[in-house]
Amino acid sequence: VISLYIGMAVITYSIVESQSLAMNPLLIPEAYIIGGQPLCSQLAGLSKGQKKLCQLYQDHMQFIGEGAKTGIRECQYQFRNRRWNCSTVDNSSVFGRTAFTYAISAAGVVNAVSRACREGELSSCGCSRAARPKDLPRDWLWGGCGDNLNYGYRFSKEFVDAREREKTFTKGSMESARLLMNLHNNEAGRRIVSDLAHVSCKCHGVSGSCSLKTCWLQLADFRKVGDALKEKYDSAAAMRLNSRGKLVQVHSKFNSPTSNDLVYIDPSPDYCAENKTTGSLGTQGRLCNKTSEGMDGCALMCCGRGYDQYKTQLVERCHCKFHWCCYVKCKHCSRTVDQFVCK
């Protein structure tokens, strides 16, 4: 079913300011698209194929944007203690280079579109029609309205990958290698969402007796997707092109990466110093933890440059009292804490 929305309602995109992702045009901060305006031509920067999909599936665009936003927020959470914290100098050619950002944004789109189907927000899909799991106990009902992972997966693949698929490069070129890498990482992100989806059930029956259960397919909490992808990122496989123009692993003694693993071609920079070419912001000015020996510790975070120590006032809510009925009243307490900032 194809739906064309002529009189569009107002759609609000409020997305992190970053010219960055595979679908960067949707990351326009606070772009208001007003009824009657041609939505798809306003989203400047869509690839040719994406523009076509946009015209055919205008009601999907909001969820693509939200999915990408969720992905970036998760990226910033996962990398908050790293030298690279998921932000970059504003350069679209740069941010796209990390395997993680491709995967997490593709995952975010699957997540958002699958859920939008279930919630009845899209005209071309509805509740999941996934087959009943074989191991579900016989007397439990299958058929609550589940997240439509099948649709979300297929749509995300079509839309997010379109940009890469349209590119034409000579076989064996570095650009063609990057294209294959991006497609691989997009797919890994989608598969993680798919792998982490699970069966969820609700009890029915007289006063909570749970004599009857209804079950459906449910997406995992997106934090779990972020955690899983972070692990994949830390064990990503180094790849190169072989003579037949296929991506193969550099270290052939390891197991080949599967479709669920992340891959890279160019090793990451160390992100210690600012470098516009690599997209590194550097770690000058970053907070670090004096006592930690991990990546967030001052030694590693500041790359041996040392740190400055400041005293800051931290204001917190304290002495909270519950008042009948029903609110909580707190005082503000401030305390002085030491802060360590990379030189």
Ligand X SMILES: *[C@@H]1O[C@H](CO)[C@@H](O)[C@H](O)[C@H]1NC(C)=O
Least distance (Å) from ligand X to the CB of residue 276? 6
Residue 257 or 279 with smaller CB distance to ligand X: 279
Residue 165 or 276 with smaller CB distance to ligand X: 276
Least distance (Å) from ligand X to the CB of residue 85? 4
- Burial string for 156-179 (b: 16+ CB within 10 Å, else e) reads bbebbbbbbeeeeeeeeeeebbbb
Query: Which residues make up the interface to ligand X (CB under 6 A)?
Result: 76, 85, 87, 91, 93-94, 269, 275, 277-278, 281-283, 285-286, 289, 291-292
Residue 118 or 286 with smaller CB distance to ligand X: 286
Residue 41 or 312 with smaller CB distance to ligand X: 312
Q: How far apart are CA 295 and CA 217, in angstroms?
A: 37
Q: How far apart are CA 179 and CA 193, in angstroms?
A: 22
User: Parallel, antiparallel, or unpaired for β 237-241 and 11-13?
Assistant: unpaired
Residue 173 or 211 with smaller CB distance to ligand X: 173
Question: Position 122: which residue type?
Answer: L
Least distance (Å) from ligand X to the CB of residue 290? 7
Q: How far apart are CA 57 and CA 47, in angstroms?
A: 15
Least distance (Å) from ligand X to the CB of residue 310? 13
Least distance (Å) from ligand X to the CB of residue 269? 6
Least distance (Å) from ligand X to the CB of residue 169? 17
DSSP assignment letter at 20: -
- DSSP-assigned states of every residue in 107-164: HHHHHHHHHHHHTT--TT--S--PPPPTTS-TTSEE-S----HHHHHHHHHHHHHHHH
Beta bridge partners of 338: 311
Residue 216 or 264 with smaller CB distance to ligand X: 264
Q: How far apart are CA 318 and CA 316, in angstroms?
A: 6
